[in-house]
A = this chain, B = another copy of it.
Amino acid sequence: MKTSECKNCNCLYFSANAFARKVEKLASETWKKVGLAPSHATLLGVVLAEPGLQAGQIAAQMQLTPSTITRLLEKLEEKKLVIRNTDGKMTNVYPTQKAKDLKPLMKQCMDEFNEKYTKILGKEESKHFIQNMNIMADKLGS
C-alpha cells in the first residue's frame, strides 16, 4: 500500500518513522557483509575517524543519549572492535586493530549503501533531500 493511501497516517510522525524504517532496512542489508547493525557501523565509523573520543562527545555527535552510547559500546566491545579507557569520570573510546583492519570493508559498505539509494532515489534528489532533512532536524532542536 502506498503511503499516500493511508488517510489516517498523513502526518509528520508517521511519515518520518515509516521512512526511517525503510532506510534502516536497506542499511541493515548492506552492513550485514561486515556483521554489523547500521547503528553499530555508524558508531564504529565515528570512533575510527576520531580515536579517543569521549563517550559523551560521541553521543552529541550521533545525537543519541549517553545511555544508548553505553549500550552500543558494550556490544562493540564484546566484538573486540573498540576498547573503553576510563580515566577519572571520563571514558575515551579507541578502535582495536581488528576494527582498523575492517576499515576498507566498511568504506565499501558505505559506498555500496550510497550507491543503492542514489540509484533508487536519484543522485541530486537524494542529496537535496538529505540536506533538507538535516536542516529540518536542526530546526526541531534537541
A134 CB to closest chain B CB (Å) equals 4
Query: Nearest chain-B residue to A142 (Cβ)?
Result: B22
Query: Nearest chain-B residue to A26 (Cβ)?
Result: B140
Report B-chain residues with C-beta under 8 Å of the C-beta of A11: 110, 113-114, 130
Main secondary structure of the interface of A (DSSP, over half): helix
Which chain A residues numbered 1 to 35 have a C-beta less than 8 Å away from chain B? 1-24, 26-27
Which chain A residues numbered 77 to 101 have a C-beta less than 8 Å away from chain B? none
| Contact (A23, B19) CB under 8 Å given A49-B8, A137-B3 | no
Q: How far is the CA of A11 from the CA of B46 in the complex (A)?
A: 13
Report B-chain residues with C-beta under 8 Å of the C-beta of A2: 138
Partner of A137, one of B19, B49, B132, B139: B19
Asked if A51 is an interface residue, CB under 8 A from chain B, the answer is: no
| Contact (A42, B137) CB under 8 Å given A18-B63, A132-B129 | no
Q: How far is the CA of A38 from the CA of B14 in the complex (A)?
A: 9
Report B-chain residues with C-beta under 8 Å of the C-beta of A140: 19, 22-23, 26, 117, 120-121
Partner of A16, one of B20, B49, B110, B142: B20
Q: How far is the CA of A34 from the CA of B71 in the complex (A)?
A: 31
| Contact (A16, B9) CB under 8 Å given A3-B138, A4-B134, A134-B4 | no
